[in-house]
């Protein structure tokens, strides 16, 4: 069997044609395909180039960044803000705590409630990593003007705020 290399654009075009043939919306497909492709590229790049070399996962970065911005929070609130499961947050916090980047404290009468704090070392290392991340973000978005970035950001917020029903079929 011969190996066939397909350009991403060729695949997208072929998929859009098949979707249109079903009487579905190829324009919306292209938008979602672009979001997935860009998101995957960004997550992979940041994880590989910034966060793994810094000693944590992208989930770990999200935990530390939230704590850096807002200060100490309960685990369930970090999960909500990060858009991750409580199990994912617990795993990330375990690793970050082991490495001295965050501390957990039980400050409630309810012993199940844990407040997570960013340590001084965690804040210092996070700031250094975020400087590198922001430089990569500037490279990625470098061809867009500030006005275009504002429009893109507004459009993403509008899409993110749409409430979907459980069943859209």
Q: What is the pLDDT of residue 2?
A: 66
Q: What is the pLDDT of residue 96?
A: 97
Reported as a single tens digit per residue, the pLDDT across 84-123 is: 999 999 999 999 999 999 999 987 777 778 899 999 999 9
Domain ranges for the chain, please list them.
40-156
State the Cα–Cα distance between residues 134 and 150, nearest whole angstrom: 17
Residue 93, SS3?
A: helix
Residues 84 and 55 sit within 8 Å (Cβ to Cβ): no
Q: What is the pLDDT of residue 47?
A: 94
Structural fold of domain 40-156: Arc Repressor Mutant, subunit A (1.10.10)
State the Cα–Cα distance between residues 149 and 98, nearest whole angstrom: 38
State the Cα–Cα distance between residues 71 and 18, nearest whole angstrom: 49
Q: What is the pLDDT of residue 1?
A: 60
Over residues 18-26, mean pLDDT: 96
CA 121 to chain CA mean position, Å:
23
Reported as a single tens digit per residue, the pLDDT across 4-21 is: 787 878 999 999 999 999
- Tokens representing 8 are 């991403």
Reported as a single tens digit per residue, the pLDDT across 113-164 is: 889 999 999 999 999 999 999 999 999 999 999 999 999 999 999 999 998 8
């Amino acid at each position: 069997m011969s190996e066939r290399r397909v350009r991403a654009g060729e695949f997208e075009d072929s998929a859009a044609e098949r979707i249109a043939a079903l009487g579905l919306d190829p324009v919306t497909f292209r938008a979602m395909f672009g979001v997935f492709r860009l998101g995957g590229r960004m997550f992979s790049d940041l994880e590989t180039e910034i966060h793994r070399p810094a000693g944590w996962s992208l989930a770990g970065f999200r935990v530390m960044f939230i704590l850096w911005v807002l200060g100490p929070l309960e685990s369930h609130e970090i999960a909500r803000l990060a858009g991750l499961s409580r199990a994912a947050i617990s795993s990330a916090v375990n690793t970050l705590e082991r490495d001295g980047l965050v501390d957990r404290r039980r400050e409630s009468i309810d012993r199940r409630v844990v407040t997570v704090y960013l340590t001084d070392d965690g804040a210092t290392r996070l700031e250094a990593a975020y400087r590198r991340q922001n430089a990569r973000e500037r490279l990625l978005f470098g061809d867009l003007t500030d006005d275009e970035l504002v429009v893109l950001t507004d459009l993403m917020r509008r899409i993110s705020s749409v409430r979907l029903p459980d069943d859209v079929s």
